[in-house]
Amino acid sequence: MRSRVELPWRRRLPAPAWALAAAVVLLLLALNFGALGAVFWRAEPGAAVFRPADWAALRFTLVQAALSALISVVLAIPVARALARRRFAGRRALVVLLGAPFILPTLVAVAGILAVFGRNGLVNQALAWAELPGFSIYGLQGVLLAHVFFNLPLATRLILQGWSRVPAEHLRLAASLGFGPAAMWRHIEGPMLRQVVPGALAVVFLICLTSFAVALTLGGGPRATTLELAIYQAFRFDFDLGRAALLALVQAALGIAALLALASFTLPAMAMTGLDRTAPPPPGGLARWVDVASITLVALFLLVPLGMVVLRGAPHLASLPAPVWAATLQSLKVAGLSVVLLALFTGALAMAALWSRWGQMLEGVGMSALLASPMVIGTGLFIIAFPLINPARLALPVTALVNAAMALPFALRAILPALRRAEADHARLSTSLGLGLGAHLRLVLWPRLRRPAGFALGLGAALSMGDLGVIVLFAQTGGETLPMQLHRLMGAYRTQDAAGAALLLLALSLAAFVVLERLIGGKEPHHAGT
């Protein structure tokens, strides 16, 4: 796909699809650069300066994001391997549940984490009972713990995809050649990981780059100031838009640098053809125990905090006040619209990336939402919209649009590899059979894209439901969405109702994910893995 040679089986994108893709690209560019430009334009004239405290924020942002990415991905490798090669009852449910922390709104997740690792949490209670010294979550360790909690599931999913793309034939061949673990690593696992790990590192790094509420709360104070918090301060505390925009540029530059650095390590994803036969039985012995331990530990780490959210919320679920239900409806609307937009964006960009010469560039644009500062996007859009229309009327479309743009990088990561592989495997045959574009899409590509598409749209719906909890911001921009109402309950001292609402949000996010994944992805996976 990197080749520029005109190949006879390479299709051309019809004009309407081109127009759609171009519109999506323009919209995304407008969203990112337009918003940033608007903030600069509206800023008071005068040089915005980078203060000494900003260097500290830059350093902390870099350190926490890099460590979060590294730890998440390193831990994800054994988990993904275990999940890829073991089959056990409840595996599919476990894979779905393990994805939950990523789609969880920040507030809910932090409550769950603290219930386990906080000063008064299960771990410290157990330590006190055993008369061992307590453990403090507040500090860099807490920030990393929370970020790993959020992103380990995502990293696991991304790496699991890599594993599931290893054709069964390779594994059978390896087994018949009598490969030991070292040979497996050298010839099969290592090269595969070099294809997926840099991408996974980049995604987690970018997500953590814009973190601020989690970093501040668990970081224990102003030493845990991230760039995003500095942007927030410039806007809210100093109303210095020039500074806010400057800091946002620095933040984006950091993200781009990380992307470029990691891209240079990445092996190009080679088409590995296979017939999707069943894989040979997984190795036993020590490997088996490593796999069991990996799955058990990660399940405990991710599911116990979720269990605490359920435990605390369940008694208050039935008695939730009426405005919470109204907000639920609003959240469903936002999520619904967001999924439609996401499907449109992903479809247009993925096809254009596949069949045009600018594939890499288009993919880059699709990923760009992760580079932008949520605070600056929000402010910039407001500056653009305000003279034209009452911003409150735009709450639903704008929230849905931004949610879709923010979920787009994950959707593209899920769809594009599958699309490229399907095209590499079947394009020649399809062309030689004289299939038109419509038939090619319907008969050849769609059956192979259903599963990743279901995953991508389910993820989009869930992220939108919690308003992409990890990157705090657009939670406030909707009409009263559920996360917003949850925040208001907490702001009105109603912690018990808030616990109930948190559980409702958790359940809805998960349900949205599962329903869409099943509905679009179909019931039975045609191939193991994601």
Binding residues among 345-384 for other proteins as defined by CB under 8 A = 374-375, 378-379, 382-383
Footprint on residues 301-340 left by other proteins (CB under 8 A): 321, 323, 330
**Cα dihedral sign for 132, 137, 140, 146?**
positive
Give CA–CA dist 222/230, Å, rounded: 10
Residue 407 within binding range of other proteins, rule CB under 8 A: no
Is position 229 an interface residue for other proteins (rule: CB under 8 A)? yes
- Specify the stretch interacting with other proteins by CB under 8 A; choose among 201-209, 280-288, 412-420, 475-483: 475-483
> x/- binding map, residues 270-299, to other proteins, per CB under 8 A?
------------------------------
Residue 111 lies near other proteins (rule: CB under 8 A): yes
490 binds other proteins (CB under 8 A): yes
Residues 20-49 that bind other proteins (CB under 8 A): 42
Residues 163-202 binding other proteins (CB under 8 A) are none
Alpha-carbon separation of residue 516 from 13, 104, 301, 378, 500 (angstroms): 28, 17, 26, 28, 24
Q: How many CA atoms lie within 13 A of 180 on its CB side?
A: 2
Give 412's contacts (C-beta < 8 A, 6+ positions apart). Answer: 346, 349, 350, 353, 363, 366, 367
Q: Does 211 contact other proteins by CB under 8 A?
A: no
Spatial CA neighbour of 158 closest among 38, 217, 75, 241: 75
Least separation, in Å, of the C-beta of 40 and other proteins? Answer: 14
Work out whether 225 is an interface residue with other proteins (CB under 8 A).
Answer: yes
Under rule CB under 8 A, residue 416 binds other proteins: no
Q: Is 129 in the site for other proteins (CB under 8 A)?
A: no
CB 395 within 8 A of CB 478: yes
Task: Pick the piece of the chain touching other proteins (CB under 8 A) from 225-233, 413-421, 444-452, 515-523.
Answer: 225-233
- Which of 393, 442, 518, 526 lies at the binding interface for other proteins (CB under 8 A)? 393
Tell me if residue 202 falls in helix, strand or coil.
helix
How many angstroms separate the CA atoms of 211 and 204, rounded? 11
Say whether residue 431 binds other proteins (CB under 8 A): no
CB of 364 to other proteins, least distance (A): 27
- Region at 226 (left for phi over 0; alpha for psi -120 to 50; beta for the rest): beta
Under the binding rule (CB under 8 A), the answer on residue 495 touching other proteins is yes
CA distances from residue 168 to 176, 421, 454 in whole angstroms, order as listed: 12, 15, 23
When asked if residue 264 is in the footprint of other proteins (CB under 8 A), the reply is no
Instruction: Report which of 289, 300, 285 is spatially closest to residue 94, judged by C-alpha positions.
Output: 300
Does position 135 interact with other proteins (CB under 8 A)? The reply is no
What does the block give as tokens for 511? 């349900």
Does position 398 interact with other proteins (CB under 8 A)? The reply is yes
Question: Applying CB under 8 A, which of residues 154, 202, 204, 475 lies at the interface with other proteins?
Answer: 475
Task: Check residue 391 for interaction with other proteins (CB under 8 A).
Answer: yes
Size of the site for other proteins (CB under 8 A): 71
Q: Does 235 bind other proteins (CB under 8 A)?
A: yes
The verdict on 50 binding other proteins (CB under 8 A) reads: no
With CB under 8 A as the contact rule, the residue among 251, 477, 509, 530 that binds other proteins is 477
| Residue among 216, 252, 302, 456 that touches other proteins (CB under 8 A) | 216
DSSP 187: I
Q: Which residues contact 352 (CB under 8 A, 6 or more apart)?
A: 13, 17, 18, 21, 358, 359, 362
Give yes or no for residue 55 binding other proteins (CB under 8 A): no
Q: What share of the chain is helix, strand, coil (3-state, %, to 5)?
A: 75, 0, 25
Give 479: exposed, middle or buried? Use CB within 10 Å, 0-12, 13-18, 19+. Answer: middle
473 binds other proteins (CB under 8 A): yes
The residue within the footprint of other proteins, chosen from 155, 213, 456, 516 (CB under 8 A), is 213
Stretch near other proteins under the rule CB under 8 A, chosen from 66-74, 198-206, 339-347, 473-481: 473-481
Distance between CA 408 and CA 400 in Å, rounded? 12
Q: Are 23 and 221 in contact (CB under 8 A)?
A: no
